[in-house]
C-alpha cells in the first residue's frame, strides 16, 4: 500500500472552504507584486497583540516573539504560504513585525547563483558540530 494515500494531514484549513481563507485575508488576493517574504525569511514580533486584533494577526505576533521562518508560521497557523504572506505584509506595513531576509541571493528566474564561500564555511562548521 502506498503511504501517500493514507489520508489528510493535520492542517486545519484543508477541510475548510475557500470562503474562510477569503475572510482571513479580508478578501485581498495578493500581498503585493514584490512580496518580500521568502519561505525562510525570519519574522520577529515588534509589538504585542492588541485587543480586538484579527485572531490570525494576534497568533502570528505570539508565535514570532522569537524569530520564526515564514514557512513555520504557515505550518503553525495551518494556512497556505500565500495567505500567510498577506497576513505578514499587513503586520509589516503597520510596524508590528520586522523581517530578517536571507542573505543568500536567489538567482534570477530559472537561474542558480552559487552561495558565498563564507556562508558555506559557516554551514559546514554548523553541520559538523551537530
Partner 1 sequence: MDSATSDATPGPAPDVTPDPGHGPSVAGPRPQLATTADNGLKIVVVGGFGVGKTTLVRSVSEIRPLNTEETMTRAGEEVDDTSAVGTKTATTVAFDFGRITLDAHNVLYLFGAPGQERFWFLWDRLFSGTLGAVVLVDTRRIADSWYAIDRLEHHGTPFIVACNDFGGPAHTEAEIREALDLGEHVPLVECDARDRSSSKYVLITLIEHLRTQVARATPQALQETPV
Chain residues in the site for partner 1 (CB under 8 A)? 2-11, 14, 16-18, 21-22, 25, 28-31, 35, 38-42, 44, 66-69, 71-72, 74-76, 79-83, 85-86, 100, 102-107, 109-112, 114-115, 117, 119-128, 130
CB closer to partner 1 out of 51 and 111 = 111
Of 15, 28, 9, 33, nearest to 84 by C-alpha is 28
Dihedral sign (CA 58, 74, 81, 19): negative
CB closer to partner 1 out of 47 and 105 = 105
In angstroms, the CA 105 to CA 86 distance is 23
In angstroms, the CA 113 to CA 119 distance is 13
CB closer to partner 1 out of 14 and 48 = 14
SS3 labels along 5-36: HCCCCCCHHHHCCHHHHHHHCCCCCCCCCCCC
CB of 51 to partner 1, least distance (A): 25
CB of 118 to partner 1, least distance (A): 10
CB of 53 to partner 1, least distance (A): 21
CB of 58 to partner 1, least distance (A): 18
Amino acid at each position: 500500500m502506498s503511504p501517500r494515500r493514507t489520508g489528510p494531514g493535520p492542517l486545519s484549513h484543508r477541510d475548510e472552504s475557500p470562503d474562510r481563507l477569503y475572510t482571513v485575508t479580508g478578501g485581498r488576493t495578493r500581498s503585493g507584486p514584490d512580496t518580500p517574504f521568502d519561505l525562510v525569511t525570519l519574522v520577529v514580533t515588534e509589538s504585542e497583540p492588541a485587543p480586538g486584533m484579527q485572531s490570525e494577526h494576534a497568533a502570528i505576533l505570539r508565535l514570532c516573539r522569537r524569530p520564526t521562518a515564514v514557512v513555520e508560521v504557515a505550518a503553525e497557523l495551518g494556512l497556505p504560504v500565500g495567505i500567510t504572506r498577506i497576513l505578514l505584509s499587513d503586520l509589516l506595513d503597520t510596524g508590528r513585525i520586522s523581517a530578517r531576509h536571507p542573505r543568500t541571493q536567489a538567482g534570477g528566474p530559472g537561474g542558480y547563483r552559487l552561495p558565498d564561500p563564507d556562508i558555506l564555511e559557516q554551514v559546514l562548521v554548523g553541520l559538523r558540530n551537530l
